[in-house]
Chain A
Amino acid sequence: MAEKPRIKVPKEAKKGEVVEIKTLLAHPMESGLRKNEAGALVPRKIINRFTCEFNGTLAFACELEPAIAANPYFQFTVRVEESGTFRFTWIDDDGTAITADESITVS
């Protein structure tokens, strides 16, 4: 995959705090409805699922349709009770999974 996803997670938080997470992945989100210069439909190729796990437990997920804009961006929250690692996963229509990890220290 070309570009690393851009992720914002606070480095530290208090136990029980609800932290804000922002993620952005560079991806064209080809809708399957767009025509190229020759007038042929460009085949659909989108990220169809995004998940955020914390220490192995699912915290947030999204099923994406072609109506999610290119370079899919999400902002959401997770309540953290312990230090650990967030794992972010984007699943492409072609079956590729793009993953990224971010850790947080909870006191």
Chain B
Amino acid sequence: MRLLSRRMALALGIGTAAAFATHHARATPSEADEAIAKFTGGKQPEPGRIAIDLPEIAENGTAVPLIVTVESPMTSGDRITDVLVVADGNPNPRVATFQFTPMSGRAEVATRIRLNATENVIVVARTGDGRFLTARKEVKVTIGGCGG
């Protein structure tokens, strides 16, 4: 029992060391802005209609649960077509781009993401008529998750 817990402590120590050793340069907020500008074609997104569900504090940045919900009737005439997720402190700020369709029913998606450090997660949604909505949320990250 004692041996086992010592082994576990050792394994844990190596894991932590590895996480710190593989820290990478953060993306600058302007890189995140660039990714967003590329998505919107330079249009300024308006805040609102997006709910970002993320923990306030993520002890482990390797798999942080994220739920994005965009308020939309999701009819063929009035819907969300794409959603970009950006993390402004990650080595590569782009996280994912989700494509919704008239079959989606709801503009909602859940996944698990890697966060490098305490940073902002920014969500930008494109509407069917070419407008853009945005929201952001800060997450405090104890152990970064971008080294793997």
Q: Indicate, yes or no, whether A interacts with B.
A: yes
A residues contacting B by CB (< 8 A) are 18-19, 28, 30-31, 33-35, 42, 54, 57-70, 72-79
Residue of B67, B103, B104 most packed against chain A (CB within 10 A): B103
- Bound CA–CA A66/B85 (angstroms): 12
A65 and B111 contact, CB distance less than 8 A: no
Residue of B nearest to A42 (CB): B148
A58 and B90 contact, CB distance less than 8 A: no
- Bound CA–CA A18/B72 (angstroms): 14
- Bound CA–CA A6/B91 (angstroms): 30
What are 19 A-B pairs at a CB distance below 8 A?
A19-B105, A28-B148, A33-B91, A33-B147, A59-B104, A60-B99, A60-B109, A61-B98, A62-B98, A66-B146, A67-B96, A67-B115, A68-B96, A75-B110, A76-B98, A76-B104, A77-B108, A78-B104, A79-B104
- Bound CA–CA A77/B110 (angstroms): 10
How many B residues, CB 8 Å from partner? Answer: 35
Given contacts A54-B103, A64-B96, A79-B103, contact A70 B62 (CB under 8 A): yes
- Bound CA–CA A17/B22 (angstroms): 46
Interface string of B27-51 (1 = CB under 8 A from A): 0000000000000000000000000
B residues contacting A by CB (< 8 A) are 21-22, 24, 62-64, 67, 87, 90-92, 94-101, 103-106, 108-115, 145-148
Q: When the two chains form the complex, which single residue of A31, A54, A74 contacts B114, counting CB atoms closer than 8 Å?
A: A31
Report, nearest first, the 6 A-B pairs whose CB atoms are least far apart.
Answer: A18-B105, A34-B148, A79-B105, A75-B110, A69-B63, A69-B112
Q: In the complex, which residues of chain A have a beta carbon less than 8 angstroms from the beta carbon of B105?
A: 18-19, 77-79
Q: A60-B104, A65-B95 are in contact. List 6 more A-B contacts (CB 8 A).
A: A62-B99, A64-B96, A65-B94, A69-B111, A70-B63, A74-B111
A75 and B111 contact, CB distance less than 8 A: yes
Q: In the complex, which residues of chain B have a beta carbon less than 8 angstroms from the beta carbon of A72?
A: 111-112
Q: When the two chains form the complex, which single residue of B24, B62, B100 contacts A69, counting CB atoms closer than 8 Å?
A: B62
B104 and A69 contact, CB distance less than 8 A: no
Task: For residue A46, give the distance in angstroms from its CB to the closest CB of chain B.
Answer: 11
Q: In the complex, which residues of chain A have a beta carbon less than 8 angstroms from the beta carbon of B87?
A: 67
Q: In the complex, which residues of chain B have a beta carbon less than 8 angstroms from the beta carbon of A33?
A: 22, 24, 91, 146-148
A68 and B114 contact, CB distance less than 8 A: yes
